[in-house]
């Protein structure tokens, strides 16, 4: 049995972002229960030179949306980076997963050898589809979802491994 580019991307990205939304819901509930201003958590970071929770969520959303769109040969919808509440961050993730759900296997399958050009500031990175997915998109999304989890856990939100992994299907 082989796994397709679609199976390796869209359903996994949707699961990661849904799990992140559930983690954010726990963050919001924690802030309310402990009488902590939610903006404290949303602006928290693991180290001063790292991005805060809000940016980690935005990056996970952007990389998932843009990465899948590039594999499909589509222009992804843009989402402005202006979220300041847990509810807005969760809504952003829901917009991203709604977009990902519109992508069908036939637009992504077969993209293994597709040339992907990725502007990175003044530079440009060039990939073939499969290395783009396996070595750029997926590790980046996992990194930012993990970092968001770690920020909230560091702030005292009661989270466990199953919050990150999600419920078994």
CATH number at residue 145: 1.20.120.450
* Residue 168: per-residue pLDDT: 83
For residues 21 and 64, is the Cβ–Cβ distance under 8 A?
Answer: no
Within a domain: residue 112?
yes
pLDDT, tens only, 95-146 = 999 999 999 999 999 999 999 998 888 999 999 999 999 999 999 999 999 9
* Residue 120: per-residue pLDDT: 86
Within a domain: residue 118?
yes
Within a domain: residue 43?
yes
Within a domain: residue 83?
yes
* Residue 119: per-residue pLDDT: 86
Beta bridge partners of 115: 128
70 lies in which domain range? 5-164
Within a domain: residue 93?
yes
Q: Chain-wide mean pLDDT for the chain? A: 96
Within a domain: residue 150?
yes
Which pair of tokens denotes residue 31? 């802030």
pTM: 0.96
Within a domain: residue 169?
no
Rounded Cα distance between 55 and 12, Å, is 21
23 Cβ contact partners less than 8 Å away, ≥ 6 residues apart: 148, 149, 152, 157, 159, 163, 164
Within a domain: residue 25?
yes
* Residue 52: per-residue pLDDT: 98
For residues 145 and 60, is the Cβ–Cβ distance under 8 A?
Answer: yes
Q: What is the number of domains present in the chain?
A: 1
pLDDT, tens only, 27-86 = 999 999 999 999 999 999 999 999 999 999 999 999 999 999 999 999 999 999 999 999
* Residue 2: per-residue pLDDT: 87
């Amino acid at each position: 049995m082989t796994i397709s580019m679609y199976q390796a991307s869209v359903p996994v990205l949707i699961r990661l972002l849904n799990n992140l939304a559930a983690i954010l819901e726990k963050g919001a509930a924690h802030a309310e229960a402990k009488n902590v201003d939610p903006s404290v958590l949303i602006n928290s970071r693991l180290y001063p030179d790292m991005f805060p929770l809000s940016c980690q969520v935005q990056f996970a959303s952007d990389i998932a949306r843009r990465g899948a769109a590039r594999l499909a040969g589509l222009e992804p919808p843009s989402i402005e980076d202006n979220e300041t509440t847990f509810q807005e961050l969760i809504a952003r993730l829901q917009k991203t997963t709604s977009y990902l759900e519109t992508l069908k296997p036939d637009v992504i399958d077969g993209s293994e050898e597709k040339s992907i050009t990725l502007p990175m500031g003044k530079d440009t990175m060039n990939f073939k589809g499969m290395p783009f997915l396996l070595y750029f998109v997926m590790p980046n999304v996992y990194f930012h979802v993990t970092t968001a989890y770690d920020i909230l856990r560091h702030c005292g939100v009661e989270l466990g491994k199953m919050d990150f992994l999600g419920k078994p299907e």
